[in-house]
Chain A
Amino acid sequence: MPITRQDVIHVANLAHLELDSAAIDTHVTRLAEILEYVAKLNEVDTAGVEPTRHASDRTNAFREDVPRPGLAPAQALSNAPEREGQQFVVPKIIG
């Protein structure tokens, strides 16, 4: 199934990216090539094969729940594009 402009616009919306018309065209072409290539996975019989999500045999990693120092508020805010007191500032959400 070929990827369409509509698909690219939909996925860009999900990913919070805004693309101009030329970028959409380029992505349609490139993504179509890549998706056509990865479709070769359909040749592989994976019936009954468990998926691998990560390549380690660790399951849960527990540690004692003891308090320890974290970042001070000033450090945590030190890279904020906009801040006020001890808060991150964002554009108004509720009209």
Chain B
Amino acid sequence: MELYELTVGQAARLLRDREITSSDITRAVLERIEACDGRIGAYLAVTADLALAQAAAADQAIARGAAGPLTGVPIAVKDLICTAGVATTCGSRILEHFIPPYDATVIRRITDAGAVLVGKLNMDEFAMGSTCEHSAFQPTRNPWHLDLIPGGSSGGSAAAVSADMCLAALGSDTGGSIRQPAAHCGVVGLKPTYGRVSRYGLVAFASSLDQIGPLTKDVTDSALVLGAIAGHDPADSTSVPRDVPDYTTFLESGIKGMRLGLPREYYGLDGLDGEVAAAVRAAVAKLEEMGATTVEVSLPHTDYAVAAYYIIAPAEASSNLARYDGVKYGMRNPGKSLVEMYRRTRSAGFGAEVQRRILIGTYCLSAGYYDAYYRKASQVRTLIGRDFEEAFTRCDAIVAPVTPTAAFAIGEKVDDPLQMYLSDIFTLSANMAGIPGLSVPCGFTADGRPIGLQLLGRHFDEGTLLRLAYNFEQATDFHRRKPFL
């Protein structure tokens, strides 16, 4: 086994036992990136010098007996999480040369836990997209099949983990941006409960929906990384002061007697691909075999979720992105007057999809349309939340597909935004309701494209999702298959 193939849990054990050094793993990961990323394009920046310095420090800490849960583990982060002194572009021309003067709270937390930062990962610009094709800099290719999209917006994170170009990655999820690329690349992706992880230093897209979470090679790693990044942060007033459990303690309990909800509206969806449906149904059967029971539940407002989301998210984005004005940071395109400078800067700095969402959001918030669009969508959001509350009176977790289809070809939906939005149908409701969601590998299509199984839980019940996913993972070997590179 090559060192870059290690999981976080395996690496931590070997490091603690002094069988390997962080410098060894870090060099192996950097060489792996060098060998593979030319074909995949997951990284926007590789921080080799920083990583080797952090690895040397980690090795000293381990020698002193001061190893934390992530000490010496090479991790990469989506390029919308601020890293002091390291460019944070958000996949956008407007932030191409932005060097944050501070670290995001999650960066401080993983660094305090001893992690080694190997680089910054590609994404759809401002996290707006499901394919990574909307990065201003480069597409990212799916390691399983280089003609396919890796998913998005955390496509670089999913591809890097899948191709063993880091041991784990951080992404962000506003409507599925962790879970969907995790499903398409055959890795584990977890969107925590809204408020579980600090958003301080996360470049804002839609503040009431955004949440940072881990993309990992297995479920144990998901529990380890979540434990390191979760918790209240005074710098993010929406983070919740609530104890962080040791998430690994949930894993070993079996799932006998757990009640799993199967939403009628999801399994009956017109656009649900046959192979995806079959893999998800086989996974449900496997979970039943292991002692879980299933019950049909209803999420009656499913058909309205995409519409409500594509008002609320662009509305919040149009407001959040008003800060890019060419004055304090980011790109400036000069103009004769202040307003001309604003316009020239924003028009040259934002890509087509970002401009489209700013326009939709501005329209929905503008005089005369606010009640019909934004207020209406926010009311429907309440109903979507109630649907989940009602469902969770009858089950402990919901089991569903992550995506209606497996990964599609690069270029296939790039000119059809509405089709791209509709593919978020199974994931974005969790953001609307603020509940946690996890994607775990559950199969492959006949032509070898990974398929993900989605688990949705009650607020702050990540433990149940990790427990279910871990038990499923132990009973299957999908997570052990690797793309051929």
Contact = CB atoms under 8 A, between A and B. Distances in A.
Interface stretch (B22-30, B32-40, B342-350): B342-350
Interface in A41-74: 41-44, 46, 49-56, 58, 61, 63, 71
Given A31-B360, A49-B383, A78-B101, A17 B378 contact: no
A81 B238 contact: no
B179 interface: no
Interface string B336-374: 111111111011001000011011101100100000010
Nearest to A88: B327
Interface residues of B, number: 73
A90 B376 contact: no
A17 B343 contact: yes
Contact of B238 (A17, A27, A43, A54): A54
Interface string A21-46: 00100010011011101111111101
Interface string B18-58: 00000000000000000000000000000000000000000
Contact of A49 (B194, B207, B339, B382): B382
A11 B328 contact: no
Interface of A: 3, 7-8, 10-12, 14-19, 23, 27, 30-31, 33-35, 37-44, 46, 49-56, 58, 61, 63, 71, 75-76, 78-82, 88, 90-93
Given A49-B382, A51-B378, A56-B238, A90 B310 contact: no
B417 interface: yes
Contacts of A78: 99, 101
Contact of B341 (A14, A49, A71, A91): A91
Contact of A11 (B310, B327, B363, B373): B363
A33 B415 CA distance: 13
Given A8-B359, A49-B383, A90-B338, A58 B195 contact: yes
Given A46-B376, A75-B101, A33 B383 contact: no
